[in-house]
Amino acid sequence: MTALQEQDETVYDLIEKEAKRQKTTLNLIASENISSRAVREATSSVLSHKYSEGYPGKRYYQGNEFIDQVEQLAIDRAKQLFGAEHANVQPISGSPANFSIFLALLEPGDAFLGMDLACGGHLTHGSPVNFSGKLYKPHHYGVDKNGFIDMDEVKQLAHQVKPKLIISGHSAYAREIDFEAFSTIAQEVGALHLADISHISGLVAAGLHKSPFPHTDVVMTTTHKTLRGPRGAIILCKQEHAQAIDKAIFPGSQGGPHNNLIAAKAVAFQEAMSPAFKKYAHQVLQNAKVLAQTLMDHGIPVVTGGTDNHLLLVDLQGLLGPGKGAQTAKLLETAGIICNANSVPYDPAPPYKPSGLRLGTPMLTSQGFTEQDIQTVGVLIASVIKDPKVAPQVRKSVLDLCARIIQ
């Protein structure tokens, strides 16, 4: 009996049920992944006991000798992994990290240019319900009729609105980002360039997606998606912005850092520099491409006709009509296939009832799925979408597939 089981059997049982769910379903949420046992051990370590407001060598509490070493190690590894001049490893998540970047670089009411949420952007890129849309003046670029970012449109908008900041990056866009082109436009209009690589940072680290460096002023990434680290985020930037970024994190928007998570980030950064991680990231890409092609081969439309990264968008409008994404995601869940409803470009339906699905391959790849397995997954997804009555039968197939592959 574990200490948790003995102390609080209710919580223990819920955790065990979640562990079982993860091993008996096909997890295709693009923003989820499985961290290593080493990362999880650091996450649950005694480092969570310590308060350490400030930065290495400049703390407001005593007793931080080893905490300083842990954080400096995470900083050094993050800089090495991404080729950055400066790294702040204290952000607790992606949205607070982006808030801190805005706090450091902009004044309330300043104009900025980001990707439209409906076309693949993120809430923190200017949604009216988010701090970025409430405190600042957002302008948005979208995608063309084929679902690709039109850099000519981005340039035209930038010259028109003269933003102080231009954001590249996404939460639901399946094609490679041209960071150099964004940088050129930013320089033309005197704007700063923020690259939000939360979804693709593992691919960038593995050399499988263009790096935002040296074509950006600031980079933000979460650490728990394709990077396979703990829940959290980091900010990377040019040295000229280091002081502003650090002050925006502490004391600007956060108090004591989560030292256990910083240690876990350090572990994840070391893992991401290994040949094994590069092999993993390559498999993520191959699996995503195979999934997209399999769905299209079985009559399921994929936005842009494929993918360059770990995710893809399914457009259900032609098959089911507008606004059927959430309904279809729930149906797939009954079959043991976990994904999320998502808006598709220029979706006529509202965000809470969108017309598409977002699918990703990081977690299945971590669990050992290869191209042949992913083909099977694609066939199962297509069969449920086209005929909801087969969901119970598909559930049995999912259980068999998980039992064979997931350890």
Q: What is the CATH number of the domain that holds 97?
A: 3.40.640.10
Query: Of all helices (H) and strands (E), which one includes residue 272?
Result: helix 259-272
Tokens representing residue 56 in the block: 């290495």
When pLDDT is averaged across residues 60-87 and rounded to a whole number, the result is 98
Q: Is residue 29 part of a domain?
A: no
CB-based contact 301:315 (threshold 8 Å): yes
| Identity at 384, one-letter amino acid code | V
- Among candidate residues 272, 287, 308, the one where a domain is terminated: 272
Is 390 in the same domain as 302?
yes
Q: CA-CA distance, 112 to 316, in Å (whole number)?
A: 32
Q: Is residue 208 part of a domain?
A: yes
Q: Is residue 138 part of a domain?
A: yes
Is 124 in the same domain as 250?
yes
- Cis amide bond preceding 251, omega within 30: yes
Is 116 in the same domain as 222?
yes
What's the pLDDT at 1?
A: 75
Is 191 in the same domain as 327?
no
User: The domain spanning residue 329 has which CATH number?
Assistant: 3.90.1150.10
Residue 360 pLDDT more than 90? yes
Query: Of all helices (H) and strands (E), which one includes residue 405?
Result: helix 391-405
Is 249 in the same domain as 395?
no
pLDDT digits 0-9 by tens, 321-355: 999 999 999 999 999 999 999 999 999 999 889 99
DSSP class of 346? T
pLDDT digits 0-9 by tens, 248-257: 999 999 999 9
Domain count, the chain: 2
State pTM to two decimals: 0.96
pLDDT digits 0-9 by tens, 139-151: 999 999 999 999 9
Counting every residue written for the chain, the total comes to 407
Write out the catalytic residue numbers.
Answer: 51, 53, 196, 222, 225, 231
User: Phi, psi (5° rounding) for residue 311?
Assistant: -130, 165
Residue 407 pLDDT more than 90? no
pLDDT digits 0-9 by tens, 179-205: 999 999 999 999 999 999 999 999 999
Quick one: CA dihedral 268, 269, 271, 272, positive or negative?
Answer: positive
Domain carrying residue 398:
278-405
Other CB atoms closer than 10 Å to residue 368's CB: what's the count? 12
What's the pLDDT at 279?
A: 98
Q: Is residue 5 part of a domain?
A: no
Is 343 in the same domain as 195?
no
CB-based contact 84:211 (threshold 8 Å): no
Is 320 in the same domain as 386?
yes
DSSP lists the bridge partners of residue 222 as 233
pLDDT digits 0-9 by tens, 120-134: 999 999 999 999 999
Is 53 in the same domain as 182?
yes
Is 307 in the same domain as 343?
yes
For the CA atoms of 376, 381, 385, 388, what is the dihedral angle to 10 degrees? 80
| Identity at 291, one-letter amino acid code | L
Residue linked to tokens 């409906």 = 118
What is each CA distance from 14 to 35, 288, 398, 399, in whole angstroms?
A: 19, 31, 22, 20
Q: Is residue 207 part of a domain?
A: yes
Is 183 in the same domain as 46?
yes
